[in-house]
């Protein structure tokens, strides 16, 4: 029998998507954070040059890729002491998020902690193994049965950013419990208050000389427009990474060799990341102004690809109102009870579609 999992949330958006598509000037789809800009040429060229991939790739990643990941953490995340044994590539980050409870051997009676406003895949991974989910942002609330803690900074959907002091407190509590703690950091390069990335859970001020039970999870989908490549990685505690690698070898979870080559090219160049951030910054500024003028309040949203917007009404009422204008957004209820009166607005649309959304919000009765 198939696993008994929750319904896929975005299926519930179908009637609203149909209404938005019926708009005379077409839909503006701001419901999913799927990049719309081209993959940088040097990355595509690296992929093409590696297409003579006649042998199986390494589950652990090529030496060049592991070294590139280590160098990127040192250069961009303030994590200077990683070694290749501390990192492995993943097939995007979602498969790792959803499979981590399985790979760690969790089961009934174990608790998986997630943020109060949470990406649905954290809970899905727990459901696969029959573990219990606790939504909590306060380490003191995490119970003795906790075996995995998910942090998400920058947060999806709300753009929250945890500082080093909070990350340190969370790591200390997880170690007291003997729990693995993983920070999903895939929006780190998109901090709208700084030219630098947001703090990593592997920063020396957090780890204090030990990466025990601590993982950083990352994806190149957002900063490098590689969503279609499925290019991610995890870094941290070498003991945990080694155990995960052994399981992943059995399951055949290996990124294709051409994708690994493309990741090396992406990680070695910061220029394209800065350029992409500026494209998103301009779109963000347009949408912040437009939604505010339409009576929405933007909360959090310090970093990442989304605006966390509210008019203090049920999230589905906001979705319905915007769909009538041909604008599709995601209801905050997809992310838990904390989002029941918010909507998530993605920045991932073309400049033309972003401008169209702004014009409709200005002209429409919202």
Separation between Cα atoms, residue 293 and residue 331, nearest integer Å: 20
What's the token pair of residue 164? 């080093």
Q: Which of 269, 297, 329 is the last residue of a domain?
A: 269
Separation between Cα atoms, residue 182 and residue 314, nearest integer Å: 31
What's the token pair of residue 227? 């969503």
Please tell me whether residues 192 and 290 are part of one structural domain: no
Which of these, 92, 303, 41, lies nearest to 189 by C-alpha position?
Answer: 303
Which of these, 365, 354, 359, 286, lies nearest to 28 by C-alpha position?
Answer: 354
What's the token pair of residue 206? 């957090």
**pLDDT at residue number 9:** 83
**CATH code of residue 327:** 3.90.1150.10
Separation between Cα atoms, residue 53 and residue 363, nearest integer Å: 53
**pLDDT at residue number 1:** 55
Q: Which of 245, 269, 293 is the last residue of a domain?
A: 269
What's the token pair of residue 143? 């119970």
Q: Which of 212, 245, 269 is the last residue of a domain?
A: 269
Q: Which domain holds residue 260?
A: 52-269
CA atoms within 13 A on the CB side of 107: 1
**pLDDT at residue number 364:** 75
pLDDT in tens, 121-134: 999 999 999 999 99
Whether residue 43 is contained in a domain is answered as no
Please tell me whether residues 94 and 211 are part of one structural domain: yes
**pLDDT at residue number 91:** 97
Spatial CB neighbours of 322, under 8 Å, sequence gap ≥ 6: 20, 328, 329, 343, 366
Please tell me whether residues 119 and 89 are part of one structural domain: yes
Which of these, 203, 234, 214, lies nearest to 77 by C-alpha position?
Answer: 203
Contact between 325 and 284 under an 8 Å Cβ cutoff? The reply is no
* Residues lower than pLDDT 50 in the chain: none
Please tell me whether residues 242 and 175 are part of one structural domain: yes
Whether residue 251 is contained in a domain is answered as yes
**pLDDT at residue number 365:** 59
Q: Three-state SS for 233?
A: strand
Q: Tokens 């910061």 identify what position?
A: 270
**pLDDT at residue number 3:** 75
Whether residue 147 is contained in a domain is answered as yes
Which of these, 60, 55, 59, 87, lies nearest to 71 by C-alpha position?
Answer: 87
Domain count of the fold of the chain: 2
**pLDDT at residue number 254:** 95
**pLDDT at residue number 2:** 66
Whether residue 190 is contained in a domain is answered as yes
**pLDDT at residue number 10:** 82
Please tell me whether residues 13 and 161 are part of one structural domain: no
CA atoms within 13 A on the CB side of 333: 15
**pLDDT at residue number 79:** 98
């Amino acid at each position: 029998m198939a696993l008994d999992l929750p319904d896929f949330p975005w299926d519930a958006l179908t009637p609203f998507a149909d209404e938005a598509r019926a708009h005379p000037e077409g839909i503006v789809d701001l419901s999913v954070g799927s990049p719309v800009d081209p993959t940088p040429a040097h990355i595509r060229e690296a992929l093409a040059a590696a297409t003579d991939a006649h042998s199986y790739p390494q589950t652990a990643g090529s030496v060049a890729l592991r070294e590139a990941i280590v160098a990127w953490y040192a250069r961009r995340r303030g994590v200077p002491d990683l070694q290749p044994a501390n990192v492995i590539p993943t097939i995007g980050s979602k498969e790792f998020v959803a499979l981590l409870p399985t790979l760690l051997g969790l089961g009934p009676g174990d608790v998986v902690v997630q943020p109060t406003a949470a990406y649905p895949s954290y809970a899905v991974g727990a459901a696969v193994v029959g573990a219990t989910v606790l939504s909590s942002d306060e380490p003191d609330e995490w119970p003795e049965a906790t075996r995995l803690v998910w942090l998400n900074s920058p947060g999806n959907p709300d753009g929250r950013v945890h500082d080093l002091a909070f990350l340190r407190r969370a790591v200390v509590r997880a170690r007291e419990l003997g729990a693995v703690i993983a920070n999903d950091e895939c929006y780190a390069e998109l901090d709208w208050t700084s030219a630098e990335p947001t703090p990593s859970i592997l920063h020396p001020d957090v780890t204090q000389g030990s990466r025990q039970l601590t993982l950083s999870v990352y994806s190149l989908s957002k900063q490098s427009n590689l969503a279609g490549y499925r290019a991610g990685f995890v870094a941290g505690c070498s003991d945990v990474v080694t155990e995960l690698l052994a399981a992943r070898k059995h399951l055949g979870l290996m990124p294709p060799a051409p994708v690994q080559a493309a990741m090396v090219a992406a990680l070695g160049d910061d220029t394209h990341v800065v350029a992409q951030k500026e494209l998103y910054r301009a779109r963000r500024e347009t949408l912040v102004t437009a939604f505010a003028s339409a009576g929405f309040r933007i909360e959090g949203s310090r970093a990442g690809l989304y605006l966390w917007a509210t008019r203090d009404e049920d999230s589905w009422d906001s979705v319905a109102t915007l769909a009538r204008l041909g604008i599709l957004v995601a209801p905050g209820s997809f992310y838990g009870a904390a989002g029941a009166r918010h909507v998530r607005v993605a920045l991932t649309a073309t400049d033309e579609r972003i401008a169209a959304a702004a014009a409709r919000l200005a002209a429409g009765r919202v």
